[in-house]
Amino acid sequence: MKSTLAKVLYVAGVTTFCTFLGCWALLAHQASQQTAVSAVSDESFAKKAAQGAMTEVKLGQLAQDKGTNEAVKKFGQRMVQDHSKANDELKQAATKENITLPGDVDKKDQDTYDALSNLSGTAFDKAYARDMVKDHQEDIAEFQREAHGGQKDAIKSFAAETLPTLQDHLKEAREMRQAVASLKVTKAKSTSSGHAGPR
């Protein structure tokens, strides 16, 4: 009787131990997977943020050249200043975390640049303003995700510190969109020597 009880207790003990060991191994594996996913997420965020900042600088320069509305030119100037500064800060954060950033914009952003560079006058102003509102809404969502859920401290801090500036950009972009919304899009006549502007 005693030996049977001992066997039962022994089997129960071994089973319990193996169950705990299995759970621990599973949890450890899930934790390491989660860390790997987060690390990839931090890296992909940093790369996308770098490309986004480069795009904002290029589009900002374009807005200063092609914009006809003062709000558009002013916003473009701010984009060049703020996003150049942000990209420098991101480069420092990426160096700390051993992340290599891309050196140029991605194809989607280049396509946006090409499309906007083919516009002029009020058509450019409206398209640029619309694009800036959309871009900054998307950027804010991504920066908030990184600021709250990032694993790499330097990248996470960069996202948190840059957020207020992006939110300010969105506010200004909406004001710019409002400023150009009522302008009529005019087409240049074939005899006209310059591009069409607002009346």
Confidence of residue 67 (pLDDT cuts 50, 70, 90): very high
What does the pLDDT read at residue 182? 83
Question: What is the model's pTM?
Answer: 0.74
Higher-scoring residue by pLDDT: 192, 109: 109
Cα 49 from chain centre = 5
Task: Tell me whether residue 22 is in a domain.
Answer: no
Residue 44 belongs to domain with CATH number? 1.20.1260.10
In a domain, 196, yes or no: no
Q: What pLDDT sits at residue 184?
A: 76
Q: Which residue has the tokens 């621990």?
A: 24
Q: Is 16 within a domain? A: no
pLDDT tens-digit series, residues 166-176: 999 999 999 99
- The pLDDT value recorded for residue 183 is 78
Structure confidence by residue, pLDDT tens digits, 114-141: 999 999 999 999 999 999 999 999 999 9
Neighbours of 112 (CB within 10 A): 18
Q: Is residue 188 over pLDDT 90? A: no
Residue 195 is encoded by which pair of tokens? 């591009």
58 burial type by CB count under 10 A (0-12 exposed, 13-18 middle, 19+ buried) = buried
The pLDDT of residue 75 is 98
Q: Which residues, 6 or more positions from 32, have their beta carbon under 8 angstroms from its beta carbon? A: none
Burial class (CB in 10 A: 0-12, 13-18, 19+), 18: exposed
Number of domains in the chain: 1
Who's near 124: CB < 8 A, 6+ residues apart? Answer: 66, 67, 68, 72, 116
Is residue 78 assigned to a domain? yes
Residue 116 domain boundaries: 39-181
